[in-house]
A and B are shown apart, each in its own frame.
Chain A
Amino acid sequence: MKRLSAAAGDRGRRQSFPVRCFSSVHGAVLRLQHEKGYGIVTIASSADHPTRRDFLFVATGAAAAVGGLATLWPFVSQMNPDASTIAAGAPIEVDLTPVAEGQDIKVFWRGKPIYISHRTKKQIDEAQKTPLADLKDPATDESRVKSGHEQWLVVIGICTHLGCIPIAHEGNYDGFFCPCHGSQYDSSGRIRQGPAPANLPVPPYQFVSDSKIQIG
């Protein structure tokens, strides 16, 4: 339905119903009529105060607006992830026993690649000893791993620049190197060099046993 809201300055001709002039007290009413975009040019009443007619028009307009918004909500909400997508994104368990020291594996959770690295002693030392002043996005190594399990690094393998997947065991910091624009991360997944603004994010995870983690 094509409906045009009559512009504020419009004066209807022929049937001569001038736009109602609301006093400042009823400025809110005027705004309401215009927000709805209804070209309802009201008929002037002889009274200066709002009449039953105005109340009716306002009530109807408000009901239409509320109804319209309420109807609109399902149309927007349907684009949110549906129940099966949410269910498929439930936490997953990963067995760490096959991952030898110095190795890493990539698993997928909620469609995102997750690096699980079994770090060497050298990598752990380098990560722990890095001064915070050297970091673009300062964070201690301790804050990015679970205590008692420092040899395990679990990070989301999506470069914080524009979303490519960085390559593990590459770059100057024995960490990750993103081939798209040259960002380099260290062995704690922290950004050291390049255009990326932030460290590789750590997903929510916990150790259900020494050799098994649950991601999510």
Chain B
Amino acid sequence: MSGPSDYQPSHPVLKWIERRLPILGFMHGSFVAYPTPRNLNYWWTFGAILSLMLGLQILTGIILAMHYTPEATMAFRSVESIVRDVNYGWLLRNMHAAGASMFFFAVYVHMLRGLYYGSYKEPREVLWILGVIIYLLMMATGFMGYVLPWGQMSFWGATVITNLFSAIPLVGDSIVTLLWGGYSVGNPTLNRFFSLHYLLPFVIAGVVVLHVWALHVVGQNNPAGVEPKTEKDTVAFTPYATIKDMFGVSCFLLLFAWFIFYMPNYLGDADNYIPANPAQTPAHIVPEWYYLPFYAILRSIPNKLAGVIAMFSSIIVLAFLPWLDTSKVRSTKYRPLAKQFFWIFVVVAVLLGYLGAQPPEGIYVIAGRILTVCYFAYFLVVLPLLGKIERTKPLPNSIADDVLAKAGSKAMVSTVLALIVAGGLLVGGVDRARAAESDTPPANKWSFAGPFGKFDRGSLQRGLKVYKEVCSNCHALSYIAFRNLGDPGGPGYSTAQVASLASEYKIKDGPNDKGEMFERPGRPADYFPSPFPNEQAARVVNGGAAPPDLSLITKARSYERGFPWFIFDLFTQYQEQGPDYVAAILQGFEDNPPADAKIPDGAYYNKYFPGHAIKMPKPLSDGQVTFDDGSPATVAQYAKDVTTFLMWAAEPHMEARKQLGFQVFFFLIIFAGLMYFTKKKVWADAH
């Protein structure tokens, strides 16, 4: 089942173990001496990358589970407390969230490699089907994982996806009730999703073991699609493939680190920073980017059951690929016509992904239907036919011949670039879902923007003053404790100042020994108190609209950037949509609204609020707050300072994140360079 190994340990203890459980010989045969085709290119490193990502997700996930509370009233806050209070909690959370996206990115590259080089063909059909099973398990795991933070998108995504099962005739509704554990998505649903989300990765690990076993029985495919014939065709797995995989991993880690440290929210949805509200559906429900193509297919079919069947079929069809593709030639390298259709398929998949993030209106619907047909046609029409009618190029005699006749890898670089742009289109397209119902907020220069951004301490302190004197009358800041005001990377107050500030507040405590609640002066460990005892009280005083808690407001708001800006943003690190929006709202009130704006009673015109009718009256006027440092007492200054303060409130550890990011990048670049030269040295005699 593994490569030939004549491994004999010399150490007596190892010999003792080996005789009873030959695990060392097994490992040696499978991962050291195992013969690997010598012409594998870098698309083959993604198997190792995926193994690493699975291990990393399990490790970070288990650690997050040490701090997470899977209960509907506490889940969101427990995630925030991980990010704010747990040592390196922000790092672990970012690793796990970005890790899920990286896991799917790697699996798509891995699958496309399989598609292109015919790795699903005889005798690798079971290997391929095991892979499809792993993919399905990954999708289930990712879906349930996204529900756990219990944000708006978590809750409503869970509602939409579980409701899919109601399409099943006769038993559909009973199945949905069974999944929910109630009459709607709620606490029972969250609890069981947590249990299953913890379980499934280990099921995935088990299927991965089968997957690698199946691989080792038949051996790896290779870019020529020609099986190894002699010893000259292969090299030992260690050190050749091991080192090459490690180099691939180090490059992948650079991409991973980019998202962890510099663009942690680019791949997510701002709405998930709003706690789940069963009474209000977000304007645009969008799944995470890796589900978008299937979401587009689901929405393309006007019939509910047919749409569900089409969506699941679009994944299941992959399992039939070994039998759908009739070509006798394995690798698309030698199938010029198939190669063109392959790239058309990739473009179709990416475009479907883009459409999945758009509102299902107008041209998007038509395009979605056409592309759904194209998607299925590739598997059900093109591949079966092509194998029968195409003319293929001559295959090399052996792998060794293929290596000697190597013709430049320029194609690789350009496809990588194309994939990056396509990926950026797909991922950034999620932002596009917010239709342009309002003016685009003007871009401001923020001191915290960019890879070396820092909070301006003075601005933070002025912003706190604005919050205390103006905003706190209606808006809570319940995720910020007084002690946070003295933490590094924040407004920078001393311990004494923090204690003094805290003691100015009256905090409800109790019950005391008599059973009564009482008030006491605040302590550093206390959180900013809310102006209202509950949401209903907040609504009554504010015309039916509850003023939102401001702790996360700059991360919970965004606006669509449009094509091609969202691709550039990925490289320029622009991620200040939230702060720009908040600052714009504060300054966007106009005394003389445009004549055609219909503002209902009790609402006010705001240039930047979607729909233009906001329930909040203009909060800021010139001269309202005076600053000790002499900064101008203008609305623009207040808006800038309070937004900076709120950005800190939303992410107190931003400076630490960027600092550590720089160190990590520095290390990874050096390490990738070292790995590159090591790989070249090790492979020097194999070429």
Task: Give chain B nearest CB distance to A117 CB in angstroms.
Answer: 19
* C-alpha spacing A91/B89, complex, angstroms: 25
Please name all residues of chain B whose beta carbon is closer than 8 Å to the beta carbon of A2 when the two chains form the complex: 27, 30-31
State whether the Cβ of B7 lies closer than 8 Å to any Cβ in chain A: yes
Query: Using Cβ atoms and an 8 Å threshold, which residues of chain A touch B236?
Result: 12, 14-15
Pick from A8, A82, A87: contact of B86, CB below 8 A: A82
Contact of A84 among B32, B481, B671 (CB under 8 A): B481
Contact B10–A7 (Cβ < 8 Å) = yes
Q: Is B55 an interface residue (CB 8 A)?
A: yes
Given A74-B87, A78-B88, A87-B524, A4 and B674 touching (CB < 8 A)? Answer: no
Interchain CA distance A57-B85 in the complex, whole Å? 40
Report yes or no: A4 in contact with B239, Cβ–Cβ below 8 A.
no
Contact A63 B670 (CB under 8 A): yes
Interface: B617 (CB within 8 A): no
* CB contact between B33 and one of A1, A14, A75, A87 (< 8 Å): that residue: A14
Residue A133 is within 8 A (CB to CB) of chain B in the complex: no
A57-B680 Cα distance, complex, nearest whole Å: 11
Which residue of chain A is the closest to B87 with respect to CB atoms?
Answer: A77
B66 within 8 A of A: yes
**Most B-side CB within 10 Å, residue of A7, A53, A77:** A7
The answer to whether B87 and A78 touch across the interface, beta carbons within 8 angstroms, is yes
Asked whether A56 is an interface residue with its Cβ less than 8 Å from the other chain, the reply is yes
CA distance A171 to B92 in the complex (A): 51
Is chain B's binding surface mostly helix, strand, loop or mixed?
Answer: helix
Number of A-B contacts (CB under 8 A): 120
A:41-62 near B, CB below 8 Å? 41, 43, 53, 56-57, 59-60
Contact B9 A7 (CB under 8 A): yes
Give the residues in chain B near A39, CB-CB below 8 Å.
Answer: 32, 238-239, 242
CA distance A3 to B675 in the complex (A): 17
**Cα A9 to Cα B28 with chains together (Å):** 13
Contact of A1 among B24, B52, B92, B674 (CB under 8 A): B52
Q: Cα distance A70–B59 when bound, in Å?
A: 16
Is residue B133 within 8 Å, beta carbon to beta carbon, of the partner chain? no
CB nearest neighbor in A for B660: A74
Shortest distance between the CB of A3 and any CB in chain B (Å): 6
Q: Is the CB of B87 within 8 A of A7?
A: no
Q: Please tell me if the beta carbons of B671 and A64 are within 8 angstroms of each other in the complex.
A: yes
Tell me the bound Cα distance from A53 to B239 in angstroms: 14
Residues of B within 8 A of A87 (CB): 481, 483, 524-525
**Residue tally, chain A, CB below 8 Å to B:** 39
B85 x A84 contact (CB < 8 A): yes
Q: Is A202 an interface residue (CB 8 A)?
A: no
CB nearest to A15 among chain B residues: B236
Q: Is A167 an interface residue (CB 8 A)?
A: no
How many chain B residues sit at the interface, stated as a range, is: 35 or more
A207 → B minimal CB distance (Å): 20
Q: Is the CB of A13 within 8 A of B92?
A: no
- B236 nearest CB neighbor, chain A only: A15
Known: A9-B11, A63-B674, A74-B88. A53 touches B681 (CB 8 A): yes
Tell me whether A1 and B87 are in contact (CB under 8 A): no
A208 at the A/B interface (Cβ < 8 Å)? Answer: no
In the assembled complex, A204 has its CB within 8 A of some CB on chain B: no
Q: Are B85 and A3 in contact (CB under 8 A)?
A: no
B121 within 8 A of A: no
What sequence of 0s and 1s flags, for each residue 471-499 of chain B, a beta carbon within 8 Å of any chain A beta carbon?
00000000001010001000000000000
**Distance, CA A64 to CA B242, complexed state (A):** 14
How long is the Cα–Cα vector from A84 to B86 in the complex, in angstroms? 8
Whether B24 contacts A80 by the Cβ 8 Å rule is no
What 1/0 flags go to B207-236 for Cβ under 8 Å of A? 000000000000000000000000100011
Chain B residues within an 8 Å CB radius of A78: 63, 66-67, 86-89, 92
Interchain CB contact (< 8 A) of B24 among A7, A8, A57, A74: A7
Q: Contacts of A1 on B, CB cut-off 8 Å?
A: 48, 51-52, 55, 245
Extra contacts besides A12-B33, A74-B87, A78-B66 (17): CB < 8 Å = A6-B238, A7-B24, A9-B10, A14-B236, A15-B236, A40-B238, A40-B242, A53-B681, A56-B678, A60-B671, A60-B674, A60-B675, A75-B63, A78-B88, A82-B85, A83-B84, A88-B525
15 A-B pairs (CB sep. < 8 Å) = A7-B24, A13-B33, A40-B239, A63-B670, A64-B671, A67-B667, A67-B668, A74-B91, A75-B92, A77-B88, A78-B67, A78-B86, A78-B92, A83-B84, A87-B524
- Interface residues of chain B, those whose CB is within 8 Å of chain A, are 6-7, 9-11, 14, 24, 27-28, 30-33, 48, 51-52, 55, 59, 63, 66-67, 81, 84-89, 91-92, 231, 235-236, 238-239, 242-243, 245-246, 481, 483, 487, 523-525, 667-668, 670-671, 674-675, 677-678, 681-682, 685
6 closest A-B pairs by beta carbon, nearest first, are A9-B10, A74-B88, A87-B525, A4-B27, A83-B85, A82-B85
